[in-house]
Amino acid sequence: MNNTDKNIEYYMNLTYTIEVTKIPDDEGGGYCACIPELGRWAFIGDGETPEEAIQHLEEVKHDLFEEYIRKGISIPEPE
């Protein structure tokens, strides 16, 4: 499949590694979720629980994938 055939659904269905870390209470608390393969600080979500952080990350991922596709920016696929 070449890049022009890859759409938002294609990228959203790929299995990227998600890292979830606890945010220290003195930094606001809660949890942070990121996708290191796509840039540890580019694709990031947060929430009060790990589940909320991952859900927020999914929203961020969708929005950024749409933007990258529209701008023709290459999206790395999981290894």
- Distance in angstroms (rounded) separating the CA atoms of residues 73 and 3: 10
Identify the sign of the CA torsion 22, 14, 76, 42: negative
Q: Model-level pTM?
A: 0.88
Around Cβ 11, how many Cβ atoms within 10 Å? 19
- Distance in angstroms (rounded) separating the CA atoms of residues 69 and 79: 20
The pLDDT assigned to 40 comes to: 82
The pLDDT assigned to 39 comes to: 86
The answer to whether the beta carbons of residues 18 and 33 sit under 8 Å apart is yes
CA distances from 13 to 30, 31, 45, 58, 60 (A): 27, 23, 18, 11, 14
pLDDT in tens, 49-76: 999 999 999 999 999 999 999 999 999 9
